[in-house]
Amino acid sequence: MQRKQALIENEIWKSLIGISSRMWKKGWIRGILYIFLVIALWQVAYVSKRFPPILFPSIGEIAHSFLRDLLNGSMLSRIGFSLKLILYGMIISATIAMVLTLLAMASKNFKSLVTSMISIFDPLPGIALLPLAILWIGIGEEAIIFIMIHSIIWPMLLNVIGGFSSVPAIYRDLGYAFGLKRNRFVFGILIPASIPSILTGFKTGWSRAWRALISAEMVFGATGSSWGIGWDIYLKRSYLDMAGMFASLLVIMIIGIVVENLIFKTIERVTVIKWGMAL
Amino acid sequence: MTDFLCVNNLTQHFISGDQKLEAYSKVSFSLKKGEFLSITGPSGCGKTTLLRTIGGFLPPTSGTISIAGKDIKEPGTHCGMVFQTFDQLLPWKTILGNVMYPLIINHKFTNRVETQHHARKYLDMVGLDKFKDYYPYQLSGGMKQRVAIARALAMEPSLILMDEPFASVDADTRVMLQRELKSIWYKSGITVLFVTHSIIEAISLSTRFLVMGKSKPSIRLFEENSIHSEPDKLITPENTGYSEWWSRLSHLIREGNDSSAHE
Ligand SMILES: Nc1ncnc2c1ncn2[C@@H]1O[C@H](COP(=O)(O)OP(=O)(O)OP(=O)(O)O)[C@@H](O)[C@H]1O
Ligand SMILES: [Mg+2]
């Protein structure tokens, strides 16, 4: 009887270990476990009172600020403001990049001009242009968009021109053989064949623009009645709203993760991964 | 009947650095509509280059090409082309999408349903209708090559240029495809230029042989296939004259490999 009991216990243990090792192998479950671990450590540090509570809020306070901002709509308006600026930057940059790339494909001289410009301006961090933008454009959304475009356009151009130039000769030959001319050739062959590089350009552009945006907002502050997530952090600092600050940092992290791991990954899944073209 | 394809004193040089490389030289021949010409010769004698020039992909160093009386200056839909490489399908389109694409661009049909129906007929002919929704990277090299053949044939051009199209398929499929090609050729009256390394393939398919060599001038032989057989069937060793052609062609190709022989 006792022996049987031991056997059953043994089986239960084995199955528990099996389930947990299988769950461990799933990346997202591991990710959630790590997050809980960080939260737990944080709370332990808070409870231990080693740090002044005014500088080190509890998890409860952070969660409370987060929910407060989320429910009263202020968080959405901050996010909307920041994302709007970055979206403008993306759209304008993509348009300019496309036009410059086509011109570069048409003329060797123009291509060498553009590639030299990329190597000159690409290393320049967007935020370093801020004083210049203020003097030239003034304090406002336009200046931030100027910085966004600078952050996005060079990596995007680099990748799009690189992609267009390295379209395999066989795809060009096919385009000619099918009788594709001018813009049908561009949209039918060159662009789809370069999508892996175009995506890389967008990803690099986004991550640079996102970082530059947060920094630029902190310098500019509010423009008019609305402001973005970067300035939000700055404001909360001046009110010493530590929990609110951490809540906003959390928002920045979440947006970064969502855009990079959900949006870009999804775009890749329905394009380059589906086509077996992933770089 | 006047000549359908005229190749006149064609020479192709490549300049790389200060070196001049002659891919082939002084190639002249002409074909009547509906002929099936196989082009053989040792590796590197310029078969692919010749086909690319005739297709209009490569401007000749000198000489002219005319198809149905018109000079060829650039590629286009005047001829179908099956390239030597595996990766001639557009990776961002499905198998069916690849076959349909040139039909759509050139408005071969008025609606999508007809286009699709036509494309599937040709996919079925190369035995790949089952794979119509796959993407090219999910197919083997030989399967991709068959899709490329279906795509070229579906356009129903009056001339098709094929560069070793069956080189990478297994023996059974190869014979199946040869039979299919010969019957399509016979039914449609299409003119075919067919590069192959297989003498058996050349004899069983073609109405005319072109053998090229490495030394110049490039043409070693341009003659009609004298073996009598049913026109829509493959020529086999049972047909009289087969072995004579076989030994003649293999001898010429072996000789053509020696680049000093003719100079
Ligand atoms: N784009 C090019 N630039 C320079 N040389 C070339 C180019 N294309 C081909 N050649 C040269 O031309 C010659 C003929 O090449 P081609 O590919 O036509 O040979 P082929 O008869 O098709 O050979 P294979 O049977 O191996 O396919 C070769 O010596 C090759 O090196
Ligand atoms: Mg070749």
- Atom number, ligand 1, closest to the C-alpha of residue B50: 18
Q: How far apart are CA B57 and CA A177, in angstroms?
A: 8
> Residue B40 — left, alpha, or beta (φ > 0 → left; ψ -120 to 50 → alpha)?
beta
Q: How far apart are CA B188 and CA B252, in angstroms?
A: 32
User: Residues B174, B19: contact at Cβ < 8 Å?
Assistant: no
B92 and A178: CB-CB below 8 Å?
no
B74 and A192: CB-CB below 8 Å?
no
Q: Does residue B46 line the site of ligand 1, with CB under 6 A?
A: yes
Which one of B57, B90, B106 makes the best mutation probe of the A interface by having the most chain A beta carbons within 10 Å? B90
ipTM of the complex: 0.89
Residue A164 CB partners (closer than 8 Å, separation 6+)? A101, A104, A105, A190, A194
Domains and CATH numbers, chain A: 2-48 (no CATH), 59-273 (1.10.3720.10)
Domains and CATH numbers, chain B: 1-78+160-263 (3.40.50.300), 85-156 (no CATH)
- Classify A217 as helix, strand or coil: helix
Q: How distant is the alpha carbon of residue B197 from its chain centre?
A: 12
Q: How far apart are CA B202 and CA A11, in angstroms?
A: 69
Q: Mind telling me how many Å the CA of B91 is from chain A's nearest CA? A: 6
> Could you read off the pLDDT of B99-112 as tens digits, one per residue?
999 999 999 999 99
According to DSSP, the β-strands at B159-163 and B208-212 are unpaired
Q: How far apart are CA B205 and CA B182, in angstroms?
A: 6
Q: Which ligand does the CA of B24 lie closest to?
A: 1
A177 and B91: CB-CB below 8 Å?
no
Which one of A178, A186, A199, A277 makes the best mutation probe of the B interface by having the most chain B beta carbons within 10 Å? A178
Six-digit token string for A138: 């003034």
User: Residues A220, A231: contact at Cβ < 8 Å?
Assistant: yes
Whole-number pLDDT of residue B263: 42
Nearest CA to ligand 1 atom 13: B23
* Chain A residue numbers touching B74 (CB-CB < 8 A): 176
Residue with tokens 């057989």: B229
Nearest CA to ligand 1 atom 11: B23
**Using the 8-state DSSP alphabet, how is residue B189 labeled?**
-
Backbone angles phi, psi at B218, to 5 degrees: -75, -30
pLDDT in single tens digits along all 279 residues of chain A: 677 888 888 888 888 888 888 877 777 788 888 889 998 998 998 888 888 888 888 889 999 999 998 999 888 998 999 999 999 999 999 999 999 999 999 999 999 999 999 999 999 988 888 888 888 988 888 888 999 999 999 999 999 999 999 999 999 999 999 999 888 999 999 999 999 999 999 999 999 999 888 888 887 766 666 788 888 888 888 888 889 999 999 999 999 888 988 899 999 999 999 999 987
Q: How far apart are CA A131 and CA A51, in angstroms?
A: 37
